[in-house]
């Protein structure tokens, strides 16, 4: 056996450190080639680290949430004999398995094949199939090793619990074998003891009684790691650096909703369905031509504001892992259906965890919307280092006075935040009013 050290690979793009999000393997577990060992995160992209070898995990290089340097040790794997030859080309220089002790002494000058396991496969790779197949005896040894590694005490023989829990169970006269475990890796907690005592003292009533008003004492400590940590850092940085101010305006979207419904009736089968978002993006493209100071990024360390002609719109997207902001690049060069298709593609990639770094960076302004749950007003946080974010609230049919008559109209609030260091209040208000004008008169979206 030899030990193969897997180091944190260089993922590129100048990244010098990554966060260890989760281990996919445990100590003593046998892994095969290309099996995922761990998930690591760089900025917002999660990367899987596969195993280049077959063997057993003997050391883990950190805990989830820990930041690891590129090139630092990630994991150690004890390589199985049958896989040693495959590792020789990729393993870091460790004890070489060539001339050192062999189980069967061979005559010195004889070049004939010896029964030692190290040189099983020649570097030419000729016919590795039969040589890589472990004999029955080797398979039994591997199986025995795996069984020994996994043959840990079970709940029926030796329950897993801390000394404090064991002492309390002894004081209460409780056999831990009878207590259902809810902790990690089958560990019995104090809460499990409380639940067992409650059931034991009032089992006939508890099974049929009303538990809606029962006291609860459970707690859950959730480590802030992975994407959740990145989101927290990003939001804290944005609020710490940027003096936000929010401007809210009411917008009549009756006409643009009617246009959207008409376009979907006419073109949905051929071009796909439209939501309000592609129409809003078109309005933003036109309004930003008049107010380019809102389509900018502020490097406050260097004291430089960069305004962009290209409109790269970030779309705040909720995923199972947390908030991500995929970017529709060059929205100014896309029509409604192209924007809609790109939004759908990016959102699906983000929610499936397939979005790459280029798709999650480079935005110059961001849109955030909670759809039907959008509320009446919000105060969105600017996506640093941008200087503006447009928030979309839900559409409500509301009584409105028009031409001295009360009529039902579809109304929506635009809640937008700006960086007051770069965007003056008047400029922000005029930008939002321009958005409102385009949305309330949708024909102007298509008139240059």
Report how far apart, in Å, the C-alpha atoms of 5 and of each of 9, 19, 53, 59, 78 are: 12, 19, 10, 9, 9
Q: CA-CA distance, 411 to 32, in Å (whole number)?
A: 58
In total, the chain counts a number of residues equal to 448
The answer for residues whose C-beta is within 8 angstroms of residue 253's C-beta and 6 or more apart is 276, 395, 410, 411, 412, 439, 440
The answer for residues whose C-beta is within 8 angstroms of residue 53's C-beta and 6 or more apart is 4, 6, 31, 33, 77, 79, 83, 86, 87, 90, 91
Report how far apart, in Å, the C-alpha atoms of 389 and of each of 4, 196, 416 are: 49, 52, 6
List the catalytic residues: 420, 424
Q: CA-CA distance, 448 to 211, in Å (whole number)?
A: 65
Q: CA-CA distance, 331 to 445, in Å (whole number)?
A: 14
Please answer whether residues 218 and 397 qualify as being in contact, where contact means their C-beta atoms are separated by less than 8 angstroms. Answer: no
Q: CA-CA distance, 111 to 118, in Å (whole number)?
A: 15
Alpha helices in 107-184 (DSSP H): 128-132, 136-150, 163-172
36-62 residues labelled b (16+ CB within 10 A) or e (exposed): ebbbbbbebbbeebebbbbbbbeebbb
Q: CA-CA distance, 288 to 293, in Å (whole number)?
A: 8
Token pair, residue 394, equals 């839900």
> What region does 160 belong to: left with phi over 0, alpha with psi -120 to 50, or beta?
beta
């Amino acid at each position: 056996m030899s030990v193969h050290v897997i180091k944190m690979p260089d993922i590129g793009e100048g990244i010098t450190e990554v966060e260890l999000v989760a281990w996919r393997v445990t100590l003593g577990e046998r892994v095969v080639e290309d099996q995922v060992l761990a998930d690591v995160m760089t900025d917002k992209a999660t990367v899987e680290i596969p195993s280049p070898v077959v063997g057993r995990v003997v050391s883990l290089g950190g805990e989830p949430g820990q930041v690891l340097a590129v090139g630092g040790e990630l994991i150690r794997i004890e390589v199985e004999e049958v896989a040693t030859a495959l590792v020789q080309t990729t393993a870091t220089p460790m004890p070489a398995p060539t001339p050192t002790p062999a189980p069967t002494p061979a005559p010195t000058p004889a070049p004939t094949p010896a029964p030692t396991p190290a040189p099983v496969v020649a570097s030419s790779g000729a016919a590795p199939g039969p040589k890589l197949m472990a004999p029955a005896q080797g398979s039994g040894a591997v199986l025995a090793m795996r069984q020994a590694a996994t043959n840990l005490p079970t709940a029926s023989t030796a329950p897993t619990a801390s000394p404090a829990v064991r002492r309390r169970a002894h004081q209460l006269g409780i056999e831990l074998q009878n207590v259902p475990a809810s902790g990690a890796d089958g560990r019995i907690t104090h809460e499990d003891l409380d639940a067992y005592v409650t059931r034991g003292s009032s089992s006939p009533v508890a099974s049929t009684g009303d538990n809606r008003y029962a006291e609860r004492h459970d707690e859950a400590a959730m480590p802030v790691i992975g994407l959740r940590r990145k989101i927290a850092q990003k939001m804290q940085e944005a609020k710490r650096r940027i003096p936000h101010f929010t401007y809210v305006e009411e917008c009549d979207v009756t006409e643009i909703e009617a246009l959207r419904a008409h376009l979907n009736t006419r073109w949905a089968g051929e071009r796909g369905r439209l939501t309000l978002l592609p129409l809003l993006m078109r309005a933003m493209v036109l309004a930003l031509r008049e107010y380019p100071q809102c389509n900018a990024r502020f490097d406050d360390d260097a004291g430089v504001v960069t305004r962009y002609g290209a409109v790269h719109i970030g779309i705040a997207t909720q995923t199972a892992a947390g908030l991500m902001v995929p970017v529709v690049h060059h929205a100014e060069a896309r029509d409604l259906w192209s924007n809609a298709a790109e939004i759908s593609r990016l959102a699906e990639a983000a929610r499936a965890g397939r979005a790459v770094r280029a798709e999650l960076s480079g935005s110059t302004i961001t849109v955030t919307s909670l759809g039907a749950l959008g509320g009446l007003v919000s105060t969105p946080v600017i996506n640093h280092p941008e200087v503006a974010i447009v928030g979309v609230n839900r559409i409500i049919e509301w009584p409105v006075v028009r031409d001295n008559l009360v009529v039902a109209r579809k109304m929506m609030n635009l809640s937008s935040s700006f960086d007051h260091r770069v965007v003056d209040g008047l400029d922000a208000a005029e930008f939002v009013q321009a958005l409102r004008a385009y949305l309330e008169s949708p024909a102007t979206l298509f008139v240059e």
